[in-house]
Structure 1
């Protein structure tokens, strides 16, 4: 089976890094990307600026491949937006890998062992993996592979507003008034949805902080704009992060700017509020908590409560997943937000990412399941280790080649580049939620 390709699912930062690592090892990568361009998911949050520098966002193997083509790296100390990350790095990297390697407009709809469903033991280990794909024109094909690296991420599966992990009652009916991404307020039509209106932001991770800063700017300019920030946890606590103690300065600065927006009176903060239902009300909405508390007169809701993995198309593969996080069993204890509250996640590789099904790996954001503490550089180390193992270099596969930055505080929301699982850690976990209350953190009344 060694003459078969290694299928990589997703042409985002981790998938393309995996392809570059595999090629360096003399293996044949084959990347399937559902979108029409590399970095398609990243491009959907093009207006959001990352808090990692360029130097931390370019995979080592990707850099080596690109530099051989004459590519000039962006300023290593700059902080790119999603759009810049995609246009200045991901799309050129996909081009350097070539169209024969990176197949765009191609969705992976299932993976199995050839001729075996997940129940059958007999002859299983001797069969290659069977990858079912669907092209943009609807044609379906089967590709045989020696290994599969799922780097498809979690962007397409945002967590719902409901505080139980299920959609709140009425959430689907109110979908037209709910956003599950940070709004792009440079778009005048998007800005008009919030100007002079009452917007509720739900979540306590880095995307929520980004939304707070952005919408506070609208509140300054547009009279009548109201912002409510809803946290499921019982107190604000260390939600604003490590500040000047953060080893990623831009991440610390994000928390400080969001805290300033609250202090300046641009929003009110509601804690201990777990949404159970959404009710229509005179063209707007009412949010109702599981304790019966109500937030009325809501025009729009921005739900930033993290993401979860889509495992449906892996149903015929024997995955070993943690019951809580839906992350690989050996990885879960290292990233569990119920335990790890200081933003420190140990570097890890193929050993922690392996499953009962040989040569199947979840990598990148998807490997973290519902945990929030992911950095791009973590994913680059993951796929370096996986590629080494597939090439038979087990010494390199088990060697750690990464030191991660810390937040500088305990109890914060997690270490993270891609928006935005960070709210998961602080919306659940060890923080008990007392009776809902309104905390006035503003020095002047919120408008």
Structure 2
């Protein structure tokens, strides 16, 4: 290496050290990352696409989590809050999403070291390296990241960062209603009749669903919560009908289990089973959706059921089919993702939903989350790709390890500081960004 090359390398490294770490998303995991960086006196900026922090959880604020408060608060965040007189709410009580925001996330975001670094109404639309697309290697790890952002007025600008933590979640990227995973043919015809997961059918969205026929598509806990809400709405508003569409013969994820240590979650499955048996929910199983079409004011789902082609019509459709990571903004980042679940390759075997439930996922940190792009990490629900087994507690452990590594504290980063209950601590698959919280 020549003297000029050495001088250039030193200068680049010095500049990197002066730049902030960019955090994408101001939900529970993004704010936890911020809290850990505050404790380590490392500069950062948090970008939140919503008009307020935790926008996705606010959308589903009516949903009660299965996990009690003691499992929903990040340790570093708790230390910062308690230093300002905050007290943990009833540890054994499970809050709603709205309560999680109001009593924990908002007070955390309002602490001065964090509040001054959070920018809401700012969407991250791309991440790369300064003047280096993904094909160029020389000097890459010493080159700052460039984060392209767009504000609510459509204005675009760029900022430089020493590292990037993507905690943007997956709620904005629902899976397709189509059984093939591709965009549903005919979706444009019925788009105004399709609701995202977990509508507030007994509150904010009541007028839309009352006295109408709604089809809920999906086999997870968000589907179960919506189904039960619609059953109650039907009791209060005669003429309200509910159909449940699943691809298999049963919805394993919401089946009741005597082994589930979380009684509320076990009861959810039992209540859905009873509603189906009583005829309050019409079950359409083994239904593979092929396309959609509009018939007057109704949405028709066309699919296969065994060897038969079936057309199912209803007034409204709720897409509760789960979520997938939005990877479009990372096209210029060198990622190493599993071919199946789209999680970091070393993490994928630990979270495979065919093998693991929420509680059997091993604690993991920066090693399992690392990509070929040094200094870039996907954390939180987005790190799980399409696997619906995410825990907030596990996400907090992720950012503890990642922020320690970014601070140069390899020893702390490598430690495992999380012990989960034997059967997991799960919430609805919408209550906190994934199936578990």
CA contact (8 A) 1:246 1:407 kept: yes
Q: Aligned to 1:277, which of 280, 291, 299?
A: 291
Specify whether residues 230 and 417 from structure 1 end up closer, same or farther in structure 2 by C-alpha distance, changes over 3 A only.
closer
Q: Aligned to 2:102, which of 76, 80, 87?
A: 87
Aligned length: 417
2:53 is aligned to 38
Q: TM-score, normalised by structure 2?
A: 0.90
CA contact (8 A) 2:35 2:114 kept: no
CA contact (8 A) 1:55 1:77 kept: yes
Specify whether residues 305 and 417 from structure 1 end up closer, same or farther in structure 2 by C-alpha distance, changes over 3 A only.
closer
Distance of 2:101 and 2:435 partners within structure 1: 22
CA contact (8 A) 1:206 1:419 kept: no
1:374 is aligned to 390
Distance of 1:341 and 1:136 partners within structure 2: 38
1:317 is aligned to 333
1:439 is aligned to none
* 1:363 equivalenced with 2:382 (yes/no): no
1:47 is aligned to 62
1:100 is aligned to 116
Distance of 2:327 and 2:414 partners within structure 1: 27
Q: Aligned to 1:170, which of 177, 181, 186?
A: 186
* 1:257 equivalenced with 2:289 (yes/no): no
Specify whether residues 143 and 253 from structure 1 end up closer, same or farther in structure 2 by C-alpha distance, changes over 3 A only.
same
Specify whether residues 403 and 44 from structure 1 end up closer, same or farther in structure 2 by C-alpha distance, changes over 3 A only.
same
Specify whether residues 272 and 200 from structure 1 end up closer, same or farther in structure 2 by C-alpha distance, changes over 3 A only.
same
Distance of 1:420 and 1:138 partners within structure 2: 26
Specify whether residues 350 and 98 from structure 1 end up closer, same or farther in structure 2 by C-alpha distance, changes over 3 A only.
closer
**279-288 vs 53-62, which deviates more?**
279-288
Aligned CA RMSD, in angstroms, stands at: 2.2
**252-261 vs 387-396, which deviates more?**
252-261
Pairwise CA distance, 1:225: 2.5
1:354 is aligned to 370
Secondary structure of the residue aligned to 1:358 is coil
Distance of 1:415 and 1:213 partners within structure 2: 13
Specify whether residues 312 and 297 from structure 1 end up closer, same or farther in structure 2 by C-alpha distance, changes over 3 A only.
closer
Pairwise CA distance, 1:15: 0.1
Distance of 1:204 and 1:312 partners within structure 2: 27
Q: TM-score, normalised by structure 1?
A: 0.88
Distance of 1:29 and 1:345 partners within structure 2: 29
1:9 is aligned to 24
Structure 1: gaps (5+ residues) = 424-447
Distance of 1:212 and 1:416 partners within structure 2: 14
Distance of 1:127 and 1:296 partners within structure 2: 54
* 1:160 equivalenced with 2:176 (yes/no): yes
Q: Aligned to 2:87, which of 69, 72, 75?
A: 72
CA contact (8 A) 2:197 2:430 kept: no
**237-246 vs 249-258, which deviates more?**
237-246
2:414 is aligned to 398
Structure 2: gaps (5+ residues) = 1-15
**335-344 vs 42-51, which deviates more?**
335-344
CA contact (8 A) 2:289 2:302 kept: yes
2:355 is aligned to 339
Specify whether residues 237 and 325 from structure 1 end up closer, same or farther in structure 2 by C-alpha distance, changes over 3 A only.
closer
Distance of 2:27 and 2:226 partners within structure 1: 24
More helix, by proportion:
2
* 1:236 equivalenced with 2:250 (yes/no): yes
1:441 is aligned to none
Distance of 1:401 and 1:249 partners within structure 2: 26
Specify whether residues 389 and 14 from structure 1 end up closer, same or farther in structure 2 by C-alpha distance, changes over 3 A only.
same
Specify whether residues 8 and 162 from structure 1 end up closer, same or farther in structure 2 by C-alpha distance, changes over 3 A only.
same
Distance of 2:46 and 2:358 partners within structure 1: 35
Deviation string, structure 1 residues 248-297 (Cα, Å, up to 9, x no partner): 33222222222232233211212111111123224212221135432434
Specify whether residues 142 and 279 from structure 1 end up closer, same or farther in structure 2 by C-alpha distance, changes over 3 A only.
closer
